[in-house]
Amino acid sequence: FQAKTMQGLKILLTAGPTCEPIDPVRVITNRSSGKTGYALAQAAHEAGAQVTLISGPTNLPCPHGVTRLSVQTAQQMHSAVMKHANDSDIFIGVAAVADWRVANASSEKLKKTDGHPPHLEFVMNPDILAEVASLANGPWCVGFAAETSLAAKELQSKRQRKGVPILVANLAQQVMDTDHTTIHLVDETGMTALGTGHKLDVARQLMTEIVKRYRQHQA
C-alpha cells in the first residue's frame, strides 16, 4: 500500500545528461545515468502525482505511468521545461545539464586528416533551474548538486544563488554508475542527512520530505 500523498499535484522533472554536439558524430556530455531522476519520477507517480519527465539520453525504461519527453541538448531541455513549467506545482531539476555548448559546432564531420585538433569555442548554456526558480508564478523548485565535497556553507550559498527552497546534495564520487546513493537535504533551516540506500528507496524518502515542505509552504 502506497499512500497517495501527491494526488492532484503536477510534478515536472529533468533527468540524465545533456549531449552537446561538436560535429554530427561527436558530443560533449556529463556523466549521468539518469537513475536518481527516474527513481524520483517513479516515486512521485506511486504517490499519486501527475509526472512529466524531461530526459536527456539514458538507457533507462520510462517508469510506468510517467510521461517522458526525450531531448538531447541543454537548449532542447530548456525549451521543453519552459513549455511545462507554468503548468506544474513542483519542479525538480535532477539533470546533469552541460554548462557549456560548442559555439562553433560543425555541420560536417571534422576530419583528422587536417593534422591538428579542432579549436572549440564554448558558450554558456541557460541555467534551467535558476530560470524556473525566477518565474513569477512558477512551480516550487528543488535543485540537485553533485559535488566532490559537501560543505554546508557552500551548499547553502548555491541554494540561495539558484533561488530554490531545497537543494539536494550528493557526493559525485559515490553516486555515479551505482544503484545506491547518499543524499543530504539543504533548506533554509540547514543541512540534514537523509540516509543511504537503493536509489528508489532514497527517492521515496526524499519525495516525502519534498511534499512535506511544499505543503508547509502552501499552508
Site for ligand C5P in 50-79 (CB under 6 A): 74
Active-site residue set? 30
Residues touching ligand C5P, count (CB under 6 A) = 14
DSSP code string of 50-72: EEEEEE-S-SPPPPTT-EEEE--
Comparison of 47 and 141: residue with beta carbon closer to ligand C5P: 141
Comparison of 48 and 89: residue with beta carbon closer to ligand C5P: 89
Name the helix (H) or strand (E) containing 10. Answer: strand 10-15
Comparison of 3 and 135: residue with beta carbon closer to ligand C5P: 135
Among 42, 58, 88, 125, binds ligand C5P (CB under 6 A): 125
Q: Is 144 annotated as a binding residue?
A: yes
Count Cβ atoms below 10 Å from residue 30 Cβ, excluding itself: 17
Q: Is 91 annotated as a binding residue?
A: no
Cα–Cα distance measured from residue 130 to residue 82, given in angstroms and rounded to the nearest whole number: 12
Q: How near is the Cβ of 127 to ligand C5P at its closest, in Å? A: 4
- Under DSSP, the state recorded for 105 is -
Catalogue the E-assigned strands of 125-215: 140-147, 166-171, 180-187, 190-198
Which segment (43-51, 101-109, 120-128, 174-182) binds ligand C5P by CB under 6 A?
120-128
Cα–Cα distance measured from residue 42 to residue 22, given in angstroms and rounded to the nearest whole number: 33
| Angle, helices 35-46/199-218, rounded to nearest 10 degrees | 60
Please tell me the number of Cα atoms within 13 Å of 46 on its side-chain side.
17
Draw the binding track, 131-170, toward ligand C5P (x: CB under 6 A; -: no contact): ------------xxx-------------------------
Q: Is 127 annotated as a binding residue?
A: yes
Q: Is 17 annotated as a binding residue?
A: no
Comparison of 48 and 57: residue with beta carbon closer to ligand C5P: 57
Identify the residue whose cell numbers are 540506500: 197
Which segment (82-90, 107-115, 122-130, 174-182) binds ligand C5P by CB under 6 A?
122-130
Cα–Cα distance measured from residue 57 to residue 117, given in angstroms and rounded to the nearest whole number: 27
Indicate the annotated binding residues for CTP. 99, 109, 126-129, 144, 158, 162
Residues in touch with ligand C5P (CB under 6 A)? 14, 74, 93-95, 97, 99, 125, 127-129, 143-145
